[in-house]
Structure formats: C-alpha cells, structure tokens
C-alpha cells in the first residue's frame, strides 16, 4: 500500500528530528543512526449527530428534536392535525431555510457579536422572569446553554436576512383593477359570455351572480392570485377587455381588466408578494447550495 503524502508540518518536523539526531553524540562510530519519525496527524473532529449539513454547517439532532417538539406542541394547541412525517418534513425544511438565511446574513457582513447575543439572552431572561426561568425553559425545550446560543444566533441572523429580502419588495407595482363574473357551473359561465359577446353590460352580468361584491376583485399584482391560469388570463387583458371562461378550483370565471397601471399594494397584497419573494430567494439559494440529509 502506498503511503499517504506527508503534510508540510510533518516534513518540517522530520527535518528537525533529523538534525537533532545528527547533533547527538554516538556511542560508537558504527552506531546505527536513528531514522526520523513523523508525528501522528491530529485526529479529525468527530461531527455532531446531525440530521443535515448545509454548506458545511451541521443541523444537529438535538436542535432538530427541540424544534420538532415545539412545532408539534404549537400545532396541537391550535387544534391542527398532522402526521409525524409531515411534522418532520416541515421542521427540517424550515431549519434548512433558516441556515441558508443566516449564512447569507454573514456574507452580507451582518455581524452579531457575542456581547450582542448576550444582550438578547439577558432580555429574554428578563421577559421570562429571570435567568432561572429561562434556564428552565431551555431544559424543557431540549436546549443546553451552548445549543441555545447557537439556535438563537442563527435565528437572529436569519431574521435579519429575511427582513432584508422582503424590504426589497416595492410598495407600488404594476397591477390590474379586476372584476369578475363567477359561476359554479360551466353552462352558466358560457351563457354569461354569450350575453357579453352580444353586447350585455359586464357589471350587470357580474351582479346577477354576485349581488354583494358585484364581482369586484380590486387591484391585483402579479403573484397575488392563487391560480396561475387566472393570473395568466388577467394579465393578458388590456384595459376594458374581458377574458374567455377560465376554470379554477373556485369555479368558472370571466375576468375584466377595468384598468391597468402602477398602483400601491394593499397590505394583504404586499404581504403576499413579500412571502413570494422570500420563497423564491430560498429556492434559488437552495439550488446553488450543498445540502446533505443524514440517514
């Protein structure tokens, strides 16, 4: 078997030992010189028991189990059902996303110092009634002091990066002011479309099927509508035009673009676009990252 190539440290050490051997007095002229020996390589650090590694950073089993317990407790308290498989997947995906965000924060030169972290911990302790209360909470949630500091640091970094991403979503974007005729069977929708094509007023037709809202959807940005077929139909329309019948899970629609242009986002639309921006960022980051799931 061929020997492993020596490191530069080993070669230097061998040279030094060789010099010292030459300088030592020999007992006789025929004494056999001692060959220099290399020092053993330092042991490789044993990786912690982990569920995943994200760009070289471990998500430990202890962290994962603590987050999983909190997730299950939260879902149960809200009366929501879940399977163990669903819970495991949800928590792991969230922790991977958090790791990606925290790594990006550091790349963006966000520097959370140890003193800053300690200030956060002190504030948490105060909010929970003191250091002993915080320590009890940590123990109840599967943390020791070290794992809690790691988790809190990652959480703060990822929150900073999340806020940076969603801050990039503008408050004024191109939108379409939309009204719709919504029916729950295709025959009614086709009848409404025939009436429109024959010259019927769109708003009057919309009021027949929805006398409460009169078909008003308001201003809609790209990425806001849940159904891609509906969004494609809406943004293919010029102002004043209406669509063909569009089938979605909600029913059968005929959309009309009342007007189009740049318009301020509603609070709900802004939140939706911020969530979409974050989701897209995580997907892009994940695609360019090395993520290893442990067996």
When divided into structural domains, the chain yields a total of 2
Residues 186 and 234 placed together within one structural domain of the fold = yes
Residue 21, pLDDT score? 33
Residues 186 and 160 placed together within one structural domain of the fold = no
- Per-residue pLDDT of 164-207, as tens digits, reads 999 999 999 999 999 999 999 999 999 999 999 999 999 999 99
Residue 147, pLDDT score? 86
- Tell me which residue of 239, 250, 256 sits closest to 181, measured CA to CA: 256
Residues 71 and 179 placed together within one structural domain of the fold = no
Residue ranges making up the domain that contains 117: 50-168
Residue 186: which residues within 8 A CB-CB, separation 6 or more? 245, 247, 252
Residues 57 and 139 placed together within one structural domain of the fold = yes
Residues 94 and 135 placed together within one structural domain of the fold = yes
DSSP 91-122: HHHHHHHHHHHHHHHHHTT----HHHHHHHHH
For 137, what's the count of Cα atoms within 13 Å in the CB-facing half-sphere?
14
Give the CATH number for residue 163. Answer: 1.10.4030.10
Residues 191 and 89 placed together within one structural domain of the fold = no
Residues 146 and 208 placed together within one structural domain of the fold = no
Give the CATH number for residue 183. Answer: 3.10.50.40
Residue 5, pLDDT score? 35
Residues 73 and 183 placed together within one structural domain of the fold = no
CA distance 124 to 63: 19
Residues 179 and 145 placed together within one structural domain of the fold = no
Residue 141, pLDDT score? 81
Any domain includes 107:
yes
Any domain includes 202:
yes
- Which of the residues in the chain have pLDDT under 50? 1-38
DSSP 222-265: TTTSS-HHHHHHHHTPPTT-B---EEETTEEEEEEEEEEEEEEP
Residue 42, pLDDT score? 54
Any domain includes 112:
yes
Domain boundary among 168, 197, 230: 168
Residues 138 and 210 placed together within one structural domain of the fold = no
Residues 126 and 225 placed together within one structural domain of the fold = no
Residue 45, pLDDT score? 67
């Amino acid at each position: 078997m061929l020997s492993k190539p020596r490191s530069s440290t080993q070669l230097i050490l061998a040279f030094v030992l060789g010099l010292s051997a030459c300088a030592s007095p020999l007992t006789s002229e025929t004494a056999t010189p001692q060959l220099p020996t290399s020092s053993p390589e330092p042991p490789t650090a044993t990786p912690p028991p982990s569920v995943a590694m994200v760009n070289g950073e471990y998500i430990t089993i202890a962290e994962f189990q603590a987050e999983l317990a909190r997730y299950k407790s939260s879902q149960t308290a809200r009366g929501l059902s879940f399977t163990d498989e669903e819970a495991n997947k949800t928590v792991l995906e969230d922790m991977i996303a958090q790791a990606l965000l925290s790594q990006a924060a550091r790349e963006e030169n966000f520097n959370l110092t140890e003193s800053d972290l300690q200030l956060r911990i002190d504030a948490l302790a105060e909010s929970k009634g003191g250091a002993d209360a915080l320590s009890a909470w940590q123990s109840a949630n599967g943390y020791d002091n070290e794992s809690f500091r790691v988790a809190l640091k990652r959480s703060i970094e990822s929150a900073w990066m999340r806020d940076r991403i969603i801050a990039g979503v503008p408050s004024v974007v191109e939108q379409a002011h939309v009204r719709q005729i919504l029916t729950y069977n295709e025959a009614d929708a086709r009848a409404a479309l025939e009436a429109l094509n024959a010259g019927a007023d769109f708003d009057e037709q919309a009021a027949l099927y929805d006398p409460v809202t009169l078909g008003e959807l308001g201003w809609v940005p790209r990425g806001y509508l849940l159904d891609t077929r509906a969004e494609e139909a809406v943004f293919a329309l010029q102002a004043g035009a209406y669509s063909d019948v569009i089938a979605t899970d909600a029913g059968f629609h005929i959309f009309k673009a009342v007007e189009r242009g740049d318009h301020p986002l509603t609070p709900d639309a802004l939140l939706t676009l911020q969530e979409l921006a974050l989701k897209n960022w995580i997907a892009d980051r994940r695609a360019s990252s090395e993520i290893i799931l442990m067996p």
